[in-house]
Amino acid sequence: MAGTSAAAGGGGAALEAQVITVAGPRPAISLGVVDAHDHLILDTPALPGQAIGDVDRVVEEVLDARSTGIACIVEMTPIGLGRDPAAMRRIADETGVAIIAASGYHRDAHYPAAHWVHEATVETLADRIVTDLTVGMHPADWLDPSLPLDAARAGAIKGGASYHRVTRGERRRLEAIAGAAAATGAAVLVHSEVGTAGHEIVDLLEAGGLGPDRIALAHLDRNPDAEIHAELADRGVTLEYDTIGRTKYHPDSVVLDLIEAVATAGHLERIVLGLDLGTRDYFRAFDGGPGLRYLMATFVPRLRRRLGDEAVERILVSNPARLYALRPAGESAS
């Protein structure tokens, strides 16, 4: 496809860049169209009654997404939220869609007061991420470290911050995330609550030794301020837009306007898209909506009319391949 050769930034080393899927490593350039942030298996006390765990229905949903052109899903369920590596391997096997799983930790709201993440040292938090990425994911979210690891490795890291602030616990977890990402070459996607605290999150991760081109911020389109987004992109940060189809927040035209404004400002290469369907009510297979098909079937045709095929290819193929390719410490994507 046109633009795919830019997937990892160009050059011989870039063409050899690898991503880690639950089925093993593969060339980043081979991913095709990427949903850069979604959830297939999830169970968190922050979303009672909305657990996603019926693998048969998830397979149905992913097959529907594949029929629209989705070839890879970055499954951003981190440690402690019901992450299930065996289920992800099964979904990948039965659908043929590549799945990149996540390690890392979410914001405070997703962890009960007695959860182990609150008392764990930064070193323990980081070590468990590194193990997930280099050896295999823990099958029970490290609740019982004596259990044998699953063979599937994580390929990305999730972080989380609260509304307009980063709490003490979140700071510790982001410090651990920065160290683990720097050690493994993995990218970090951080939940920015309602699109806030972006610069503070980036400052913390950079202070921990992580380069900005390894950092993506999620949900920024909840706060569709193109000027702030351009500032973050100027720093080298990836902007991940994922409130597509969330009419309760705003119409899709708001996100289309935002993407067009950021691209016009010279930051097309910093945009990736996902749907972040984090509850069962969003899945068509559970009689909800908009479903995983919405990105390609409904939103992307409108985006093509705005930006053209080449720009859309970069957003859906080249940019996420560059972002999620593992990169040795100190190596730039540009």
Per the CB < 8 A criterion, the answer to whether 226 and 265 are in contact is yes
Sorted by sequence, the CB contacts under 8 Å of residue 38 that are 6+ apart come out as 73, 74, 75, 76, 274, 275, 276, 277, 292
Q: What pLDDT score does 7 carry?
A: 36
Domain for residue 333, yes or no? no
* pLDDT (0 to 100) of residue 29: 95
Contact 178/209 with Cβ under 8 angstroms? yes
Q: Domain of 171: which CATH number?
A: 3.20.20.140
| Residue 249 DSSP one-character state | T
pLDDT score, position 329: 57
Q: Quick one: which of 299, 313, 320 has its CA closest to 1? A: 313
Q: Is residue 1 part of a domain?
A: no
User: Is residue 293 a part of any domain in this protein?
Assistant: yes
Q: Show pLDDT as tens, one digit a residue, over the chain (334 residues).
A: 333 333 334 444 445 899 999 999 999 999 999 999 999 999 998 898 999 999 999 999 999 999 999 999 999 999 999 999 999 999 999 999 999 999 999 999 999 999 999 999 999 999 999 999 999 999 999 999 999 999 999 999 999 999 999 999 999 999 999 999 999 999 999 999 999 999 999 999 999 999 999 999 999 999 999 999 999 999 999 999 999 999 999 999 999 999 999 999 999 999 999 999 999 999 999 999 999 999 999 999 999 999 999 999 999 999 999 999 998 755 655 5
Q: Which domain covers residue 232, as residue numbers?
A: 28-324
Residue 42 belongs to a domain: yes
Give residue 144's pLDDT: 95
Number of domain units in the chain: 1
Give SS3 for 231: helix
In degrees and rounded to multiples of 5, residue 102 shows phi and psi of: -120, 145
**C-alpha count within 13 angstroms, C-beta hemisphere, residue 305:** 7
Beta bridge partners of 158: 104, 189
Q: Is residue 15 a part of any domain in this protein?
A: no
State pLDDT tens for residues 224-283. 999 999 999 999 999 999 999 999 999 999 999 999 999 999 999 999 999 999 999 999
Report if residue 20 sits inside a domain.
no
Q: Is the distance from CB of 159 to CB of 306 less than 8 angstroms? A: no
Angle in degrees, CA 1, 27, 92, rounded to 5: 90
| Peptide bond just before 290 cis, omega within 30 deg | yes
For residues 191 and 107, is the Cβ–Cβ distance under 8 A?
Answer: yes
Task: For residue 143, give every residue at least 6 positions away whose Cβ sits within 8 Å of its Cβ, in sequence order, or none.
Answer: 116
At 11 the pLDDT is 42
Residue 17 lies in a domain: no
Kindly state whether residue 6 falls inside one of the protein's structural domains: no
